Amino acid sequence: MIHRAAQGRIADTAKGDSDNLAARPRCGPASRSPPHVPLAPEAAESRLIRVLRDLERLRAENRRLRQSLEAASNRASTAQRIARHDGLTGLPNRLFLIERLQRAVAVAGQRRHRLALLFIDLDGFKAVNDGFGHGIADRLLTTVASRIAACVRADDIACRYGGDEFVALLTNLGDASIAIGVSRKIREHIAERYTIAGHEIRITASIGLAVYPDHGDCWGKLLSHADAAMYRDKTAQRVHPHAGDPHR
């Protein structure tokens, strides 16, 4: 009896294990997820509409960002131009001249080229300003600036240095005589008659010349030499009018 009871318990245990094995999930292909069920047409269309709306929103944000960057770049360019150009005449100002002159001297030294500075001061401008007022004087300065700019080559620079003073930077010169010819042309153009608001005005100019490397090997020395030469020319014209020589 005991032996039969033991056999019965063993049989029950084996049956229980068999049932447990049958209840466990099987590994392999039989355990994979059920196949994907496609969305209904209405749901798919709704999802597509949401995606397209998100895409359009991103495109709009991208356009706004590009416009903002372009506006910032334009403002920076405008600020730089204002900082380096004269507000009245539109010519480059002293800051622009010094920056360009520094680079021009470095290039001329490397390539063994010559360059020249013409320092131009208007004679008789104070009398125009006092006699006709600031409005007429400003228009005169603007016209003078245009005449000076028309006398230099495309690669050269005419700038308003300050007040009634102008400077022309002539680069890549083969001979100093080119600068002397430009200075005479400027002098003649400035001396031509001006008609402003019904007034006929005449002024002249004193011009000083400095040539690199003859009169200096750095921008500061060149400016100082041209300025001093301009004052010598002004003095000479007082003694001998119309006999100015910028190469003194």
pLDDT beyond 60 at 84: yes
Instruction: Please state, in angstroms and rounded to a whole number, the distance separating the CA atoms of residues 29 and 243.
Output: 109
Q: Domain extents for the chain?
A: 94-239
pLDDT tens sequence across 123-179: 999 999 999 999 999 999 999 999 999 999 999 999 999 999 999 999 999 888 999
Nearest partner of 164 among 142, 132, 181, judged by Cα? 142
pLDDT tens sequence across 201-239: 999 999 999 999 999 999 999 999 999 999 999 999 877
pLDDT beyond 60 at 25: no
Superfamily of domain 94-239: Reverse transcriptase/Diguanylate cyclase domain (3.30.70.270)
Nearest partner of 140 among 86, 65, 195, judged by Cα? 195
**Structure token pair of residue 118:** 């013409």
Q: How many residues does the chain have?
A: 248
41-50, 75-84, 110-119, 183-192, range with the lowest pLDDT: 75-84
Which H or E run includes 201? Answer: strand 199-201
pLDDT tens sequence across 43-70: 777 888 888 888 888 898 888 888 888 8
CB 226 within 8 A of CB 208: yes
Name the pTM for this structure: 0.69
pLDDT beyond 50 at 246: no
**Structure token pair of residue 125:** 């401008």
